[in-house]
Chains A and B, each alone.
Chain A
């Protein structure tokens, strides 16, 4: 695919683990479908976080792995069964999105197809589809206090996903503040996209090569640690 094929990359679980560092006690956190949903596994029980799922729970527990414990009426937005946890409550869809729209979500973590240098999020309309499904991501992207994107740094075909300007239809404009990829952690700032952490085995120039947007590289860029 490219000259970087032999370089180390984080798997989905490791990306989720890195992203979990941005989840602090007391936060209300919404995890989107895909990689973001793995994040909760890395939040130890003594770090109390109120996980929200837009289909109508606040304060649920872990994703359930044992089929005998599954309750089909206690699932997250991805359809995964989740644990009933002390302090949780159920709400209707309109109440759930009132919570989102009202700005009560501290952090949402979303997957994406592309992110623009200005923070534009394009995560609903894959190339070639007649239309995309905008789902509940749009409300989260517009209204959460902080939007973190978890995605591979490149498309499967090796193309860039962090763009000077997104080429796919946008879910929400200028909303992303942090991107965690399989090789780096980047922040969207007024000065552009700043490279914060780089995975061991990569250097910043190599990250720039697989990124369409021009990166700001501080002198103290760190190593991505899990």
Chain B
């Protein structure tokens, strides 16, 4: 008599997503839902959808959900958590949402040490609006607002959110993972598990940046997209844990030069 060893988590509703074929938003949805199931907190979790391709996340996660205006999910999360500290609150945000228009909200939410969890999906492009440049777009990468490739002279270098937030003095768990390869997805899930556990234990703010693909706007088939990510994003966005509440201050010191 056969036992099911892999199937849809309770945390996800049984519907087909609107995501493009091979978009790893779907993988990240599943990992988050699995972790919430495992921690047994689904019934007291409130998620916050961003404005971005995952704007409809509330149609997929089987829990109470909140919309947020573009980039402000961390402020919305703050409001929810301060009103109801017993709830488990997480935001799910894209790189345009979090790193461009939402930069102020994420920095201050992290710095206040709000006991919430941020799932930061970095696909190096604006998906929903049709492939414009994101703060995370790589040098030379083509986007509809930099059709000759991102010119770092004019637009600067890609922002590494995890590195930036790790310098804050307020204790937090901050890590970067990727889901372009199933073995790394397993690690990504472990990072998410730790992030949510820190919240469940009311320890600190937690954020996991997850590198993700956007085959549609990268203009490559899904299978190539995973390779593109490995080749181009991994070198610039190193995976790993950058900051733990136990660990010491990650801020750079003056180097006198």
A interacts with B: no
Which B residues lie at the A interface, using CB under 8 A?
A: none
Which A residues lie at the B interface, using CB under 8 A?
A: none
